[in-house]
């Protein structure tokens, strides 16, 4: 992952904010010359491997493929692959980049198709700036099961790297497909929202990579800048990272994927759909409640028939409702291997809760039926002395039950 270059916070005038409110560019490759996409219509692909050779990218005829492809498309494969950034393919940038300082949205969409059903080719596509500071990530892998699509986000603050890959779709390799990033870049920490749409359906919701840059990386070689500032994004970077799929079968090399109809858009106030809140583990079992009140006596029975004694029954009705969980509750900060708990605090509906050691007391004795989310912030000290903060939510509930007589 590229290290982050710090930027200074800008005070934007109203006129500039209006100018940055919307910006969109599209590429269909139809007017490009065959060969490398580098320098054509403001695309960039320096294309030189650190050990020599070039990346496998070119503009070529798209073989009259159905599904929206024109006469020409961008072809890329992982026949050559490395972990560098500057030489890979960058799409045409918008004039006004998107950043959380301006509370902006970023959207990018592209179509793709695997050229061979199974060759093992893989590509990653990320919203980025001109230097590979990626703010999200989707990876395509051509496998025996189809084209696998993976999403990677960074949902937790104070971590040293992004999270593992999350599978989100398996696609038919013989068909053309569309992937779309919809991002809301929100001022503040740990609150960006990223939606990934595959063929028009929402397949993933997560965070951007803001936490990675905010708490982990910055570029010491370019000024010694401190973290906590994020590079604005204005384009896509398309890469083949990891292992090469050069099978040495010239001319039957890995043909990779065709990419077409690439659109990038920035605008004020992102349109990403907020992710659903995580569901916490079940709460602790509450204490047994008091016995309900005695029910009223039943009425007289119906008059018996002639010659038969009339029998009058009495019964108790079902006792009144009982609240389950409306008690004093206790939740605990988790123990972490190799780390020492420094402090923990909790809150319920913006009110602080009493803490004893690693135990948080939650008084639900006067609460009505409903869910009560307790927000916990625990700080741990690692063996190296670094403070590690873990945020979590515990969901407690008060429910109603009825007991038979």
Q: What is the CATH number of the domain that holds 134?
A: 2.60.120.200
- Average pLDDT score, the chain: 78
Tens digit of each residue's pLDDT (9 = 90 or more) over 212-242:
777 665 544 434 344 556 789 999 999 998 8
Task: Tell me, yes or no, whether 262 and 326 share the same domain.
Answer: no
- Domain assignment present for residue 306? The answer is no
Task: Tell me, yes or no, whether 71 and 142 share the same domain.
Answer: yes
Task: Tell me, yes or no, whether 199 and 331 share the same domain.
Answer: no
Task: Tell me, yes or no, whether 331 and 250 share the same domain.
Answer: no
SS3 211: helix
Of 202, 237, 268, the residue that ends a domain is 268
SS3 383: coil
Question: Regarding beta strands 104-114 and 257-268, do their DSSP bridges make them parallel or antiparallel, or are they unpaired?
Answer: antiparallel
The predicted model scores a pTM of 0.62
- Domain assignment present for residue 303? The answer is no
Of 245, 268, 291, the residue that ends a domain is 268
Confidence label for 24 from pLDDT (cuts 50, 70 and 90): very high
Q: What is the mean pLDDT of residues 305-313?
A: 42
Element (H, E) at 114: strand 104-114
- Domain assignment present for residue 257? The answer is yes
- Domain assignment present for residue 235? The answer is yes
Strand partners, 128: 235
Do residues 135 and 210 lie in contact, with contact meaning Cβ atoms separated by under 8 Å?
yes
CA–CA separation, 206 and 191 (whole Å): 10
Task: Tell me, yes or no, whether 329 and 245 share the same domain.
Answer: no
Count of domains in the chain?
A: 2
CA–CA separation, 196 and 183 (whole Å): 9
Q: What is the CATH number of the domain that holds 374?
A: 2.60.40
Domain range enclosing 170: 14-268
Tens digit of each residue's pLDDT (9 = 90 or more) over 39-97:
999 999 987 655 556 888 999 886 666 556 788 999 999 888 888 888 899 999 999 99
CB-based burial label for 103 (10 Å; 0-12, 13-18, 19+): middle
Return the pLDDT at 280: 60
Is 32's pLDDT higher than 50?
yes
Buried b (16+ CB within 10 A) or exposed e, 264-274: bbbbeebebee
Task: Tell me, yes or no, whether 257 and 343 share the same domain.
Answer: no
Ranges 11-20, 81-90, 294-303: which has the least confidence: 11-20
- Domain assignment present for residue 142? The answer is yes
% pLDDT > 70, the chain: 73
- Domain assignment present for residue 263? The answer is yes
Return the pLDDT at 385: 83
Task: Tell me, yes or no, whether 340 and 214 share the same domain.
Answer: no
Of 226, 248, 268, the residue that ends a domain is 268
Name the residue among 264, 232, 273 with its Cα closest to residue 104: 232
């Amino acid at each position: 992952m590229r290290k982050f270059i710090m930027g200074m916070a800008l005070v934007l005038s109203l006129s500039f904010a209006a100018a940055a409110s919307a910006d969109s560019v599209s590429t269909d490759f139809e007017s490009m010359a065959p060969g490398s996409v580098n320098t054509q219509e403001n695309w960039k692909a320096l294309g030189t491997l650190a050990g020599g050779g070039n990346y496998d990218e070119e503009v070529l005829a798209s073989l009259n493929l159905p599904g929206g492809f024109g006469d020409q498309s961008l072809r890329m494969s992982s026949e050559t692959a490395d972990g560098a950034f500057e030489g890979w393919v960058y799409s045409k940038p918008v004039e006004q980049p998107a950043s959380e300082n301006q509370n902006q949205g970023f959207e990018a969409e592209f179509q793709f198709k695997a050229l061979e059903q199974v060759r093992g080719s893989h590509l990653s596509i990320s919203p980025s700036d001109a230097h590979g500071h990626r703010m999200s990530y989707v990876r395509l892998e051509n496998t025996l099961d189809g084209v696998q699509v993976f999403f990677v986000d960074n949902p937790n603050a104070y971590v040293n790297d992004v999270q593992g890959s999350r599978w989100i779709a398996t696609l038919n390799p013989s068909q053309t497909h569309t992937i779309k990033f919809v991002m809301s870049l929100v001022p503040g920490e740990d609150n960006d929202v990223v939606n990934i749409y595959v063929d028009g359906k929402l397949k993933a919701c997560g965070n951007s990579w803001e936490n990675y840059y905010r708490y982990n990386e910055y570029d010491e070689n370019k000024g010694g800048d401190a973290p906590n500032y994020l590079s604005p994004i204005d384009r896509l970077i398309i890469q083949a990272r990891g292992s090469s799929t050069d099978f040495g079968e010239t001319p039957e090399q890995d043909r990779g994927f065709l990419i077409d109809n690439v659109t990038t858009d920035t605008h004020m106030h992102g349109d990403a759909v907020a992710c659903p809140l995580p569901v916490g583990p079940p709460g602790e079992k509450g204490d047994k409640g008091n016995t309900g009140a005695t029910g009223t006596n039943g009425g007289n029975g119906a008059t018996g028939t002639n010659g038969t004694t009339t029998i009058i029954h009495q019964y108790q009705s079902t006792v009144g409702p009982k609240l389950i969980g409306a008690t004093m509750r206790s939740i605990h900060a988790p123990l972490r291997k190799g780390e020492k708990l420094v402090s923990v605090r909790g809150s319920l509906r913006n009110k602080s809760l009493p803490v004893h050691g690693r135990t948080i007391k939650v008084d639900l004795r006067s609460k009505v039926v409903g869910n009560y989310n307790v927000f916990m912030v625990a700080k741990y000290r690692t063996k190296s002395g670094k403070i590690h903060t873990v945020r979590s939510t515990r969901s407690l509930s008060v429910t109603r039950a009825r007991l038979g007589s």
